[in-house]
Each structure stands twice: as C-alpha cells, then as structure tokens.
Amino acid sequence: MKIIRTKNYEEMSLEAAKIMAAQIVLKPDAVLGLATGSSPIGLYDNLVKWNENGDLDFSAIRSVNLDEYCGLDGKNDQSYRYFMDTHLFNRVNIDKANTNVPNGKAADYAAEGARYDELIASLGGIDMQLLGIGPDGHIGFNEPDEFFTKETHVVDLDPSTIEANARFFASADDVPRQAVTMGMGGIMGAKKVLLIASGASKKEILEKALFGPITPEVPASLLQLHPDLTVVCAVD
C-alpha cells in the first residue's frame, strides 16, 4: 500500500489525476473504473484540462462506473450516468459507447448484475479503479454487512449514506433507497486501485479502513489485501 498525504482537496486532486493520467498514457485503451461523488470532481477537472491541452487522449479509453441509483435513468440529473457525462465524458474525447454505468432502471437487477460482471470480464478486467470512501467505510455502494458480496448487486443504502448524499437532492426523502453497485470482487479484481479521500470527517474511517481489522463491517478494509493500492488523501 502506498499512501500519499496531501495538503488539501486541490493537491489531492492533482496528485491523483497524475496517477490516472499516467495510466492513460501507459495504456491508451485502458479500462478505467470510475467513481462519482465530491471526491473525484477535482481529479476529473484536471483530466479535462490535460485533454484540452492535447496532453491526454481518451479516444481509446473504456470505462466502467462503480454504481447507479435504482430507479434513475441517465437523463435524471441526480443519476450517476448524468454526473459522469457532465463532469467528464462530455468534456473529453472519449467515445460514449465505451463508457459504462450500471443500469438503474433495469427490470431485473440480478440479470443486470450478471450482465455488468460479464461486461467487465469481456473488457479484460479493470486496469485502474478509482474509489472514494463513504462515512461508514463503503466503497462503491458496498455497505457495512455481515459478509462481503463479490458480484454486482442491489443494496439497501445505509441511513448514513442517505444522509451524506442528501446534499445532492432537494431533501433526504428524495435520495433513492437502493443502488446497483459493483461488488467487492469487481473492485478487488482491478489491477490497480486508487483511493482518494479528503476532509477531516474522513480521517477516522480512512484509518480504520487502512489499519484496522479486515471486516465486512468496514468494506474498504478489504483493500488492505489488494496488491497495488495507492491512497491519496488530504484528511489532516
């Protein structure tokens, strides 16, 4: 595990963006596992800037996102597809056909989970998975539980996750109660994992995840077993 401590959100975003940009330069058709939320916005802004400069080419990049809210389609401005389009995909020269987000409107979520895992396998697996960490230690939407779930699956969101994500909605009541998320197998199967975290509120959970017991009660703790984990944080 490599930990890069940074001073603030801007520095975290720059250092993490450099790591992702290096992946893109080294493998122009890399499969990037992408995340939404507040943490990666600055990172994406840097990638957009370097794409505009002509320093970074997304034309052959493939992507798979971690998760999507159940019941929201990509046109809904609270959906994670919409987030990705507005923060990254519409702003760089990526082929939208090569970008993938779980289908929040699937008629059969078990079938959607199987489809998503097969898709990841058919792409040859994920080269670099970007992660944020939730206040309860979730990654993707793998919430604290009695066991780790390997496959892409539907989860009931934890009350703390609903509360944390209410800031993006009119009220907590509007936050969907369920999401489809890549499972721990998909995340742990990535060749490299890049975890970013900023803000004092993430300090305790990050320490638990990286140095505490490996337990499904803190899903991110499983990352301790990943052979190529880089953490870029600004939590002091």
Residue nearer to ligand F6R on the CB measure, 116 or 141: 141
Contact letters (x/-) for ligand F6R, 7-36, by CB under 6 A?
----------------------------xx
Region binding ligand F6R by CB under 6 A among candidate stretches 105-113, 116-124, 139-147, 211-219: 139-147
Active site residue 67: yes
**Shortest CA distance to 4 belongs to which of 202, 154, 229?**
229
Region binding ligand F6R by CB under 6 A among candidate stretches 44-52, 128-136, 170-178, 185-193: 128-136
Q: Among 15, 67, 112, 127, which one carries the catalytic annotation?
A: 67
Distance, in Å, from the CA atom of 38 to the CA atom of 197, rounded to the nearest integer, reads: 10
- For the chain, helix (H) and strand (E) counts, in that order, are 7, 10
* C-alpha distance across the termini of the chain, in Å: 19
Q: What are the residues whose beta carbons fall under 8 Å from the beta carbon of 203, sequence distance 6 or more?
A: 235, 236
The tokens describing 197, both together, are 């975290």
DSSP class of residue 65?
E
CB of 195 to ligand F6R, least distance (A): 9
Reduced to 3 states, what is the DSSP secondary structure of residue 153?
A: strand
The yes or no reply on residue 39 touching ligand F6R (CB under 6 A) is yes
Active site residue 136: yes
Write out the residues near ligand F6R by the rule CB under 6 A: 35-39, 66-67, 80, 132-134, 138-141
